[in-house]
Amino acid sequence: MLLNTKIRELIVNSIEIMQKNNFFQEEFDADKVGFLVSLPNLPEHLEDEEIKYDLSTNVAFLLKKYVKTSPLNIANELVNILMQNTDVFVKIDVAMPGFINIVLKDEVFNEVLLNANKEGFKYGANQFEPTKINVEYISANPTGFLHVGHVRGAVYGDSLIKIYRHAGYQVESEYYVNDAGNQINVLANSAKVRYFELFGQTLEMPEESYKGQDIVWAVEQIKNKKGDYYLNDFESKYQEFKTEVKDILLEKIKYDLSKLNIGNFDTFSSELSILQNGAVDEALEKMKEYTYHKDGALFLKTTEFKDDKDRVLIKSDGSNTYLLPDIAYHLTKFKKADRLINIWGADHSGYVERMKAALKILGYDDNRLDVLIIQLVRLIKNGEEFKMSKRAGTSVTLSDLLEVSSPDAVRFMMLTREINNKFDFDIDFSNSANSSNPVYIVQYAHSRTVSLLNNLVKPDLSLKSFNLSYKAKKIVLAIDEFPSLIKTIVETSKVNLMSQYLLNLAKLFNSFYSETKLKGHENEAEYAYLVSVVQLVLRLGLGLIGVSAPENM
């Protein structure tokens, strides 16, 4: 059992005993009292011998509203019951005006380390039933290279999938290829101009076009492979040309993602396939009671399900809107998963309600779809912003970014903020090898554990009790939090909590190391065991966000 959870349960059980003894004047659910169990709030300069307590709780203050007495009296009554658990507590004191301060037995801390070491890389794993989840992310149009704006969602989605799988879910990773819309025609028309230019022929670039160098690169690949094959009778080969350009850019996207340690999607779904396999007709049939014609177009009554206006499915010219195949795509996904997670860019935030409305019309619980919106990223170098615009030809691509920053730095830094906040990625800062750089701090802490274990005696925790320093106890308490961290990330989808946790653990360990001479310590073997578990958790956590754990730095 998690240490913090165990302490909380003991407190809740004690409150329930007080309820049975009619201590309180009002009825309430003891399990829903939102009290904290945390490290005591102490000045940083205190030495170990000056620190008397391991944990503190504010529970007495929250119980005050249920009885006409002071928090101090409540705390004293609660402590009398808590102290019956002599296998956990050494002592519990009450401090004015009602804080409860706790000293735990060393065996309790040892149990945390033994449990983590026993579970190894399964620590915190399999906390949930193996529900089938489909996570669709990135899904960038194959109309050019991936740019920095795609990277945040890519890293976030890949890490979320790793954590969900660790937690016990069956997760299918999916990339939706938008290969049937007008943007693919724009791509082909733009590529045609660039292809003919390679053979000295000048054509007028369409007003709606992609002007980036990625299009030039794509047609150069075609020229290298097929020469002037498309110069003659281009119109009859147009569909073949369009498919080839799209496929080349999609393969480039896959290759660039692999350099970011993202690859092997379980499924690449095609919009074109959705249009051809009957899924659209099936969706229309299921939704027919909620559709109507107006001005030659087919509308869906999404306003009946909290959308701000009804949405067009088929335009008056007979062509589909983007919404119709997307509804059919979600219908297809629900046939193979219990829950869907879509990771979309900020430009799709207004699209959420109409999709949820469509799912309700199809008969699905819209709570089975979670849409996570990724806010924008700005790339900063030398204090200035790089602009991103694929069509203007000035985009900063993923390949460009990885030429000046490591995959580890990119992945870790992209996960330091919540996704609903805009993020500035500072290239210079992410590459700095100093104590202010989060990824450097965490990776250096891991490499330090490797070096230490190569020089210390064999880790051993056969002693049931040894005098842990306060800084060592803080490390153990952090290690104890890891399983609940996994649970929290799954419940909130806040992957940034993992990077924050790893940074905190690394700082705790570095502080402990700087103040503790481990070699020759009377408990060297026991402390070596602590170091080995720190290494385990750092390596496990870094792996779950796709960042390496170097042994030397």
DSSP 421-481: S-EEEEHHHHT--STT-HHHHHHHHHHHHHHHHHHSPPP---SS-----HHHHHHHHHHHH
Smallest Cα–Cα separation from 150: which of 347, 385, 382? Answer: 347
d(CA 58, CA 235): 76
Q: What does residue 37 show for φ and ψ, rounded to 5 degrees?
A: -125, 115
3-state helix, strand, coil in the chain (%, to 5): 55, 15, 35
Which residue reads 């819309």 in tokens? 181
Pairing of strands 339-345, 132-136: parallel
Q: Count of H helices and E strands in the chain? A: 19, 15
CB 215: neighbour CB atoms within 10 A?
26
pLDDT digits (tens, 9 = 90+) for 440-491: 999 999 999 999 999 999 988 776 666 788 889 999 999 999 999 999 999 9
d(CA 458, CA 528): 7
Residue 168: band (very low, low, confident or very high) from pLDDT cuts 50, 70, 90: very high
Smallest Cα–Cα separation from 159: which of 438, 486, 399? Answer: 486
d(CA 411, CA 257): 12
Identify the pLDDT of residue 29: 94
Strand order in the sheet with 311-314: 291-294, 297-300, 311-314
Identify the pLDDT of residue 396: 82
In this prediction, residues 209-235 reach a mean pLDDT of 95
pLDDT digits (tens, 9 = 90+) for 333-383: 999 999 999 999 998 988 999 999 999 999 999 999 999 999 988 888 788
Smallest Cα–Cα separation from 78: which of 94, 67, 89, 66? Answer: 94
Q: What does residue 212 show for φ and ψ, rounded to 5 degrees?
A: -70, 160
pLDDT digits (tens, 9 = 90+) for 259-282: 999 988 999 999 999 999 999 999
Report CA dihedral (141, 146, 148, 152) to the nearest 10 degrees.
Answer: 70
Position 45 pLDDT exceeds 80 = no
Q: What does residue 478 show for φ and ψ, rounded to 5 degrees?
A: -65, -40
d(CA 180, CA 195): 22
> Coil, helix or strand for 373?
strand
Q: Which domains are assigned to the chain? A: 3-104 (3.30.1360.70), 108-125+433-544 (1.10.730.10), 182-258 (no CATH)
d(CA 168, CA 467): 36
Dig out the tokens for 535 from the structure: 């290494």
Q: What does residue 345 show for φ and ψ, rounded to 5 degrees?
A: -75, 165
d(CA 82, CA 94): 12
pLDDT digits (tens, 9 = 90+) for 482-524: 999 999 999 999 999 999 999 999 999 999 999 888 898 888 8
Residue 50: band (very low, low, confident or very high) from pLDDT cuts 50, 70, 90: low
CB 204 within 8 A of CB 193: yes
Smallest Cα–Cα separation from 82: which of 72, 74, 92? Answer: 92
CB 35 within 8 A of CB 62: yes
| Of 186 and 435, more confident | 186
Residue 392: band (very low, low, confident or very high) from pLDDT cuts 50, 70, 90: very low
DSSP element (H, E) containing 386? strand 384-386
What is the average pLDDT score of the chain?
92
Q: How far is CA 455 from CA 348, 399, 442, 476, in A?
A: 54, 40, 21, 22
CB 475: neighbour CB atoms within 10 A?
24
In this prediction, residues 212-228 reach a mean pLDDT of 96
